[in-house]
Structure 1
């Protein structure tokens, strides 16, 4: 079990890529690692102070990891929801969860935005029927409590995570 005193930042290996979306949904800084060598993955995680999330057993054998300079969380399962369940259990992260506070696409924080500024950015039906919106200032995506939000709420419920009612 990892002890953490502040919200951890993650570097998510491509072999557990969907986990990054779930972590962002919970409000964690979870950057995906693209194509690159293990050496590059380790170097980036160390430079950015990130915990590596992976299914690659060989990463745990690296000197930086064995010496304790770098944390690696290893997953056996391919199922992202089970990976998240394991991570929440092993790292005791519940006090840092801020659901729907990060962009699930680009990992940047979301900000509340006035509905009146969105008439050209969202579909007319959404504009008429929704009242709360958040926007990513980095990629420009707009989020609201639609069917995708409801599906994410169901994931949170299955995981036993307290849901923040904001979008």
Structure 2
């Protein structure tokens, strides 16, 4: 079964990094721990948190609901912590999920995005992906290259 996460408001940037490497990660930006736990149970998600009180909740403490207490402050160190703890793969399916809403991205042709991207991007890029929900367009520009480099460095550090 595919591992899925729900990250609370203490580890929002970790949620983004997990999405970058292709892991289904909801970001729960509320303070209602009970609601967070209900979603985790209903959707079979592992909770990621820095909140020790969540770890003391009955379902979590009994082991019926999996939760990971994140110890690191830095988002990339948090990612390394989760990857090491769960033996995740940095190169599993990178850049396949929308960083904003966690939906699987869909390929789009150049013609379909011509009016949606800056002219320079259209001129220099051939491959595009779109989120079917928020309609954000992604391409392999400098931001993608920088994140790819960071992922490669993190993966090397793991070895």
Q: What is the TM-score with the length of structure 2 in the denominator? A: 0.93
Distance in 2 (CA, whole Å) between partners of 1:110 and 1:35 is 26
**SS of alignment partner, residue 94 of structure 1:** coil
Q: Select the residue among 3, 6, 11 that pairs with 1:16.
A: 11
Matched, 1:148 2:139: no
Query: For structure 2, which runs of at least 5 residues remain unmatched after alignment?
Result: none
Decide whether aligned partners of structure 1 residues 93 and 7 sit closer, same or farther in structure 2, where only a CA change above 3 A counts.
Answer: farther
* Shift in Å, 1:149: 0.4
8 Å Cα contact 2:110-2:128 kept in structure 1? yes
**CA contact 2:8–2:30 (8 Å) conserved in 1:** no
| Structure 1 range deviating more: 18-27 or 152-161 | 152-161
| Counterpart for residue 128 of structure 2 | 133
Moved more, 37-46 or 120-129: 37-46
Counterparts of 1:102-141 in structure 2 under 5 Å? Answer: 102-141=97-136
SS in 1 for 2:11: helix
| Alignment partners' CA distance in 1, 2:149 and 2:50 | 26
Uncovered stretches (5+) of structure 1, i.e. residues with no partner: 1-5, 162-167
Q: Name the residue aligned to 1:74.
A: 69
Q: TM-score, normalised by structure 1?
A: 0.89
Q: Secondary structure at the match of 1:98?
A: coil
Q: Does 1:86 align with 2:81?
A: yes
Report how many aligned residue pairs link the two structures: 156
Please provide the CA RMSD for this pair. Answer: 1.4
Query: What secondary structure, in the 3-state scheme, does the structure 2 residue paired with 1:112 have?
Result: strand
User: Displacement, 1:96?
Assistant: 7.9
Residue pair 1:7, 1:93 contacting (<8 A) in 2 also: no
After TM superposition, where is structure 1 displaced by more than 3 Å over at least 4 residues in a row?
A: none
